[in-house]
A and B are shown apart, each in its own frame.
Chain A
Amino acid sequence: MDFDLSPEHRMTQKMVRDFAAKEVAPVIKEFDRRQEPIPWMLPRMGALGILGICFPLRYGGQGMDYLSLGLACEELEAVDSALRVAMSVHVGLCAATVFQWGTEEQKREFLVPLARGEKYGCGAFTEPGMGSDVAAMQSHARRDGSDYILNGEKMWISLAGLADFALVTARTDPHPGRQVDGLSSFLVDLHSPGVTRGDLHGKLGVRAGSTGWLHFQDVRLPKRNLIGEEGEGFKVTMSAFDNGRYTVGSGATGLIRACLEASVRYAAARPAFGKPIAERQLIQEKIARMAQDYEIARLLYWQVGWLKNQGKRSTLQTSYCKKFATEASFEAANQALQIHGAYGFSDEYDVERYLRNARGAVIYEGSSEIQALIQAGYALGERRDKPLRCELPAYDAAAWHKESQAG
């Protein structure tokens, strides 16, 4: 077992860390206050290759492995969750799902521009009336010749206002044998006629992130936009969540680190009753908890990154990683705020933003309650991984670094 990061991994960490620290950290408070996305964030992440980090060169990606994706998410969310959210939906929910389930033609048509950062993607599953209960979705796509006609509404969609494509799951069979069998997933061009969208404001956190709604009114979808086969939508969606949750968990790990670093810095400088509060045991207990949780969360996401690199399913390990890291990041932010006292309650310091940002991830991409059900299902033997028709491809350095398919 090798816990050493390779030179490639360390350089990836440093590159993403430097980008976030130099370019985003100085301005994030201002955009968060104004509840506006940083306009150059996605183009910049695209130009640096971060939006296509873990895809083969021949599909427009950078040829790095899945652990690099997690390392990048940790570094991005250590500065702000909005950066990592972009990775979760663009890479995790959208591009990685096309990579896993798309045909060769679909990868060439859709994955290449996504991985190059020329187009932005998001995932659209949640609706006004359903979230965790995926099989209860109301959006539907009916056949019309060889096309599909999509109708419905999706809500709480990150990058809804900025994305070019959304991976949308909708009902294609109104009366299936089992509810989960009647769903299909489509990559929808959000510039198509019949698509309207808008932003949602007033969120507690991730205020520099774009979150919105998508409305589909008789949107015509060619068959080539169907990702997976008709009726495979539930499986496609669950695969998307496996990939998205990994980015959420690795990102939340970065948030724990940010809380830890801010707390250590403040506690060492702030005196109370004659000495720095870092020397007080009640403060040390909080800091020790953050340090321990950071280590646990990091090991959990490294494990998922390793499993993905091997081409092994990681639904259960991803669930551990996502649930633990997001809950621990909220607790770390809460205690970091406590350590900062009244200053922590003010947006003069970063920790109040960390607290607001941490809260959402305990809900989205599978709430903690859903994660607990998944974990109990495995523990009780009621749930086990069945082979999928399309598994996420294992990392293959030689093949991923080839520019073209041939040779």
Chain B
Amino acid sequence: MKIVVCIKQVPDSAAKVVVENGKVSWGDAPLVINPWDEYAVEAALQQKEALGGTVTAISIGGEGAKEAIKHALAMGADDAILVNDPALAGMDTQAASQTLAAAIDKIGGVEMAFFGRQAIDGDAGLVPSQSARLLGWPALTLAAVIKVDGGNVRVERAIEEGRQIVAAKLPAVFSLVKDFGEPRYPSFMGIRKAARAEIPSWTLADLALAAPAPVIAWPELMNPPSREVTCEIIGGGSPEEIAGRLADKILAEKVL
């Protein structure tokens, strides 16, 4: 079983992201693997452990994106590919999907492609579905449970209304949610392997792709307006009394 996991490097979730001079800045906060993608790596590794085969991590980015790739390798991915091309700077989700689909195609024989449900920087959540469309594969998004049986797969999707069970034939694209289960930590052996790994770089030319023209432009970036928050402690002699006062205030403020 050839398994691919697509990962993105993003600013640490603890970073304070602001707009400075029209550009997004996260200061000197470290770049890490997109936290949702860790679930995707975990799912990929579990499928490999259950079915045999290999897990290849793919990422798009500059040399710096190798840190995220190394995290996936340290968790247990067998190898990795970085698609590094200056023409991809400022790409939108469609360009990312075209690139990833072409890379998956080039690897050849891939039966499962895993993604995190979204990246915590752009937060679009479109790349899994767009990649599936380009590959012509079913998009099994928001997967919480994945069961493969021969060439078929059954997925429990974690959706707002509850769980939805869908079935499809492989190959397929999967996007992962937290309900799948905690991703493992890198092992020390994995860390050593990842630190020494030579990660091949592919360009758009290697993928026989023309530089994709973005269909989405970001004409202006701005910080969200700062919110004035005031805190009031409601006192009272008993929980009932405090709850009563709170209810009155909520009604007076027309929150309800």
Q: List chain B residues, Cβ under 8 A from A53.
A: 188
Is A6 part of the binding interface, using a Cβ–Cβ cutoff of 8 Å?
yes
Residue pair B195, A7 in contact (C-beta under 8 Å): yes
B192 an interface residue at 8 Å Cβ cutoff? yes
Distance between Cα atoms of A63 and B188 in the complex (Å) = 8
- For B192, list chain A residues within 8 Å (CB): 8, 63-64, 401
B185: interface (CB < 8 Å) = yes
Interface flags, B96-115, vs A, CB<8A=1, else 0? 00000000000000000000
Q: Count the B residues whose beta carbon is within 8 Å of the partner chain — how many?
A: 15
Min CB gap A272→B, angstroms: 15
**Interface residues of A, count at CB 8 A:** 17
- Of A10-18, A157-165, A288-296, A321-329, the one touching chain B: A10-18
Q: Are B189 and A11 in contact (CB under 8 A)?
A: no
A15 and B191 within 8 A (CB): yes
Complex Cα spacing A6 to B194, Å: 12
**Which B residues, 158 to 202, have Cβ-Cβ distances below 8 Å to chain A?**
182, 185-189, 191-192, 194-195
Q: Which residue of chain B is the closest to A57 with respect to CB atoms?
A: B189
Interchain CB contact under 8 A, B195 and A64: no
Determine whether the beta carbon of A12 is less than 8 Å from that of B70.
no
Contact check: which of B32, B67, B185, B195 meets A15 at CB < 8 Å?
Answer: B185
The answer, yes or no, to whether B71 is at the interface (CB within 8 Å) is yes
> Do residues A49 and B195 form an inter-chain contact, with CB atoms below 8 A?
no
Q: When chains A and B are docked, how far (Å) is the Cα of A19 from the Cα of B191? A: 15
Residue B120 at the chain A interface, CB threshold 8 Å:
no
With CB as the reference atom, state the residue of chain B lying closest to A6.
B195
> How far does the alpha carbon of A53 sit from the alpha carbon of B191 in the complex, in Å?
12
Closest to B74 in A: A11
Report yes or no: A48 in contact with B195, Cβ–Cβ below 8 A: no
Contacts of B194 in A (CB 8 A): 7, 11
Q: Which residues of B contact A15 (CB under 8 A)?
A: 74, 185-186, 188, 191
Q: Is the CB of A7 within 8 A of B70?
A: yes
Contact of B188 with A62 in the complex, beta carbons under 8 Å: yes
- Chain A residue with Cβ nearest B33: A14
Query: Which residues of the partner chain B approach A401 to less than 8 Å between Cβ atoms?
Result: 192
Q: Are A12 and B185 in contact (CB under 8 A)?
A: no
A44 to chain B, nearest CB (A): 10
Residues of B with C-beta under 8 A to A8: 191-192, 195
Interface string of A72-115 (1 = CB under 8 A from B): 00000000000000000000000000000000000000000000
If the complex has contacts A7-B70, A11-B70, A11-B71, are A18 and B195 also in contact, measured as CB distance less than 8 A?
no
A6 CA / B71 CA spacing, docked (Å): 14
Q: Chain A residues near B32 (CB, 8 Å)?
A: 14
Cα-based distance from A372 to B71 in the complex (angstroms): 43
Q: Return the chain A residue nearest B185 by Cβ.
A: A15
Determine if A49 and B71 form an interchain contact, defined as CB atoms under 8 angstroms apart: no
CB-CB < 8 A to B185: which residues of A?
A: 15, 18-19, 48
> For residue A62, which residues in chain B have a CB less than 8 angstroms away from its CB?
188-189
- In angstroms, Cα B189 to Cα A63, docked, is 8
Residues in B lying within 8 Å of A, measured CB to CB: 32, 67, 70-71, 74, 182, 185-189, 191-192, 194-195
Q: Can you sample 9 A-B contacts with CB below 8 Å?
A: A11-B71, A14-B32, A14-B186, A15-B191, A49-B188, A64-B188, A64-B191, A64-B192, A401-B192
9 extra interface residue pairs, beta carbon distance < 8 Å, beyond A48-B187, A63-B189, A64-B188: A7-B67, A7-B195, A11-B71, A14-B186, A15-B185, A15-B191, A19-B185, A53-B188, A401-B192
